[in-house]
C-alpha cells in the first residue's frame, strides 16, 4: 500500500534531515544542483510493494495495455503497454513482457500521459469556498516573510484538491501569494486522497521552493504600509534581505570555525579570546535561514514576475548573490527575453492566454510558451487558478496551436512537457516524476482521447501506481466540507463529476 512505501521514505528522509541544519525543510530532498542539466535525485531502492491491493497483486503489478502512450520523453507510442509495479513504472513499450500473473487492464483507444504537474497553485491556502476564514495564502504582515511556510496554511479538506486530481493533476506546488516580495516557502504536494494534514499530502522527495514576487503587487499592498512604494523599493528591499542572509551565513561560519577550533584545542586550553566554554551559536533566524538556503542552492526560487525588464533585473540580482531563479511565474513577457531565460537556465511558468488584468500583464500573447520553447528555454503552463488547474491540457493546447500557427514547430510531446517534465524539473523532482519511463513513479493519467482536444476527459488517474480517480466510480464528495451539502444541491451528483 502507499502508506508502507511512503512510511519508508519518510524514515529515510527524516534520517537524512537530522544531518541538515534546516528547520524548515524536514523530510525534503535536494534540488538538482546546477540547473538546467542535472536531474534531481532518484528515489533510493524501494521497499516491497507486495499486497498493494487492486492495483498490484503480489508484486506482479498491473499492465495498462494498448493505449496511445505519450511519454514526455520525446517518444509517443501509437499503441503501447505500461507495466506498473508497486509505486513505479517497471517498463513501458510495445508489447512488453510482464510477469505472468500481472493484472491486465485494457486501455486501448485511450491515451496515457504522465500525471500533470502544476508549478503554481494556491489550493489549500486559498480554498473554496472563499470564506474570509480561508484566506491563508498571503502573510501580509510585511513585504518580506521568508519565515512563512505554505504548508502551515494548507487545508487538505479544500474541495479544489479533488477537482484538480480529476483534471489529471497529480503534483502541485502550493505557493504563498504574491503580496510580498518574499512570501515564504512553498510546499509540493501530491493530490493523494484522504489527506488529513499537509504531511499526508506532501511530495516528500520535493525540495521546498521560495516564493518571491516582483512588480505591482507588493507595491500596491505596501504603499501605505511603509513601503515598498516603487519598483526601486522592491529591488532594494530584496537586495537588502539577501545581503542580510550573506551576513547571517558569515556569522554561522564564524561560529562553526570557532567551534571547530574549540573542539580541536589542546586539552585545558582556553578557546578564542580566552573563552572558558564552547562558543554560543548565533541566534537562529528562520527567515534568513531560508534565504541562506537559497544561496546554498537548497531551495528553488519561484519568482512571480511579469515584465521582461524586471525578470532581467532579478536574474542579475540572483547572479550577484550566487543563486539561480528556478522558474519565473506568470512571466507574460518571457517571450521578449526567451534567449536570456535560456541562458540563465530559468524556466518560465506561464498561462496560455491570460492578459491585461493589470499593466504588467498587458503584453501577454498566446505564443509565449511556444516562443520560449523555440529559444531553448524551459516553458511550463501553470494555472494559478483552481478552475484552470482542472484543464491544463486544454491551456497547453491553446498555446501549442498558437505557436504552430505562428510557424513554430511545437510537437505534441513538447507541449506535453510543458505540463509534465518541465514543471517536474522546476520543482526539482524530474528524477522521480514527469515522464513515463522505467523507474519513475507511476503517476499516470488515462484520457478518453487526445489530451489536446476540448472534448477529451480524464477517465482515470494513478498516483504511485494507486488508482486515485475513476470517472465511472465517482462517489461521495471527498472533502468534509461538501459532504452533506453537495448531495442536497446535487442529488444526482454521480453523473456530475468531475
Binding residues (CB under 8 A) for other proteins: these are 128-131, 159-160, 163, 216, 220, 335-340, 353-359, 362-367, 371, 375, 386-387, 390-391, 394, 397-398, 401, 405-406, 452-457, 481-482, 485-486, 488-490, 493, 495-496, 498
In terms of CB distance, is 326 or 398 closer to other proteins?
Answer: 398
- The least CB distance from residue 363 to other proteins, in Å, is 6
- The least CB distance from residue 37 to other proteins, in Å, is 19
- The least CB distance from residue 290 to other proteins, in Å, is 29
CB 248 within 8 A of CB 292: yes
In terms of CB distance, is 268 or 492 closer to other proteins?
Answer: 492
In terms of CB distance, is 365 or 424 closer to other proteins?
Answer: 365
Q: How far apart are the first and last CA of the chain?
A: 25
- The least CB distance from residue 93 to other proteins, in Å, is 29
In terms of CB distance, is 129 or 226 closer to other proteins?
Answer: 129
CA distance 468 to 462: 5
In terms of CB distance, is 146 or 347 closer to other proteins?
Answer: 347
Interacting residues of 431 by C-beta distance below 8 A, sequence separation 6+: 39, 40, 41, 42, 43
* Alpha-carbon dihedral sign for residues 184, 190, 191, 195: negative
CA distance 92 to 437: 6
The per-residue b/e assignment along 241-267, b for 16 or more CB within 10 angstroms, e otherwise, is bbebbeebbeebeeeeebbeebeeeee
In terms of CB distance, is 167 or 465 closer to other proteins?
Answer: 167
CA distance 370 to 290: 34
CA distance 179 to 192: 29
In terms of CB distance, is 65 or 366 closer to other proteins?
Answer: 366
Q: Which CB contacts under 8 angstroms, 24+ apart, belong to 95-102? A: 96/63, 98/60, 98/61, 98/63, 99/59, 99/60, 99/61, 100/60, 101/57, 101/58, 101/60, 102/57, 102/60, 102/61, 102/62, 102/63
- The least CB distance from residue 259 to other proteins, in Å, is 41
- The least CB distance from residue 80 to other proteins, in Å, is 24
* Per-residue DSSP letter, 441: B
- The least CB distance from residue 336 to other proteins, in Å, is 5
Amino acid at each position: 500500500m502507499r502508506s508502507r512505501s511512503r512510511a519508508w521514505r519518510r524514515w529515510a528522509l527524516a534520517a537524512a534531515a537530522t544531518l541538515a541544519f534546516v528547520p524548515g525543510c524536514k523530510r525534503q530532498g535536494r534540488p538538482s544542483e546546477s540547473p538546467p542539466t542535472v536531474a534531481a535525485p532518484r528515489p533510493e531502492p524501494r521497499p516491497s510493494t507486495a499486497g498493494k491491493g487492486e492495483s498490484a497483486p503480489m508484486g506482479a503489478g498491473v499492465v495498462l495495455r494498448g493505449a496511445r502512450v505519450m511519454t514526455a520523453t520525446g517518444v509517443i507510442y501509437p499503441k503501447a503497454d505500461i507495466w506498473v509495479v508497486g509505486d513505479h513504472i517497471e517498463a513501458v513499450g510495445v508489447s512488453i513482457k510482464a510477469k505472468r500473473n500481472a493484472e491486465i487492464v485494457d486501455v486501448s483507444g485511450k491515451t496515457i500521459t504522465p500525471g500533470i504537474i502544476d508549478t503554481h497553485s494556491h489550493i489549500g491556502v486559498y480554498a473554496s469556498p472563499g470564506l474570509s476564514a480561508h484566506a491563508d495564502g498571503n502573510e501580509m504582515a510585511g513585504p518580506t516573510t521568508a519565515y512563512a511556510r505554505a504548508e502551515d496554511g494548507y487545508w487538505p479538506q479544500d474541495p479544489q484538491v479533488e477537482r484538480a486530481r480529476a483534471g489529471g493533476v497529480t503534483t502541485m506546488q502550493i505557493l504563498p501569494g504574491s503580496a510580498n516580495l518574499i512570501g515564504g516557502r512553498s510546499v509540493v504536494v501530491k493530490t493523494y486522497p484522504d489527506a488529513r494534514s499537509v504531511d499526508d499530502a506532501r511530495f516528500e522527495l520535493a525540495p521546498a521552493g521560495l516564493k518571491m514576487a516582483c512588480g505591482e503587487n507588493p507595491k500596491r499592498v505596501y504603499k501605505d504600509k511603509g513601503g515598498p512604494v516603487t519598483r526601486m523599493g522592491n529591488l532594494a528591499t530584496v537586495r537588502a534581505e539577501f545581503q542580510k542572509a550573506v551576513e547571517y551565513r558569515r556569522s554561522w561560519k564564524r561560529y562553526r570555525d570557532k567551534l571547530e577550533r574549540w573542539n580541536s584545542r589542546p586539552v585545558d586550553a582556553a578557546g578564542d579570546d580566552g573563552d572558558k566554554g564552547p562558543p554560543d551559536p548565533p541566534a537562529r533566524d528562520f527567515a534568513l535561514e531560508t534565504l541562506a538556503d537559497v544561496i546554498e542552492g537548497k531551495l528553488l526560487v519561484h519568482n512571480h514576475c511579469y515584465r521582461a525588464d524586471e525578470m532581467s533585473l532579478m536574474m542579475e540580482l540572483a547572479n550577484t548573490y550566487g543563486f539561480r531563479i528556478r522558474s519565473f511565474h506568470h512571466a507574460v513577457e518571457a517571450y521578449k527575453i526567451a534567449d536570456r531565460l535560456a541562458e540563465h537556465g530559468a524556466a518560465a511558468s506561464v498561462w496560455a492566454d491570460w492578459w491585461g488584468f493589470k499593466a504588467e500583464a498587458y503584453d501577454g500573447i498566446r505564443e509565449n510558451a511556444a516562443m520560449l520553447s523555440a529559444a531553448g528555454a524551459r516553458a511550463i503552463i501553470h494555472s494559478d487558478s483552481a478552475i484552470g488547474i482542472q484543464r491544463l491540457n486544454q491551456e497547453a493546447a491553446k498555446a501549442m496551436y498558437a505557436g504552430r500557427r505562428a510557424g513554430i514547430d511545437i510537437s505534441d510531446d513538447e507541449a506535453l512537457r510543458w505540463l509534465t517534465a518541465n514543471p517536474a524539473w522546476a520543482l526539482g523532482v524530474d528524477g522521480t516524476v514527469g515522464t513515463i519511463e522505467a523507474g519513475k513513479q507511476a503517476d499516470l493519467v488515462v484520457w478518453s482521447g487526445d489530451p489536446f482536444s476540448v472534448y477529451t476527459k480524464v477517465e482515470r488517474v494513478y498516483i504511485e501506481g494507486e488508482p486515485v480517480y475513476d470517472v465511472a466510480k465517482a462517489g461521495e464528495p471527498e472533502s468534509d466540507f461538501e459532504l452533506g451539502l453537495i448531495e442536497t444541491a446535487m442529488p444526482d451528483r454521480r453523473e456530475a463529476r468531475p
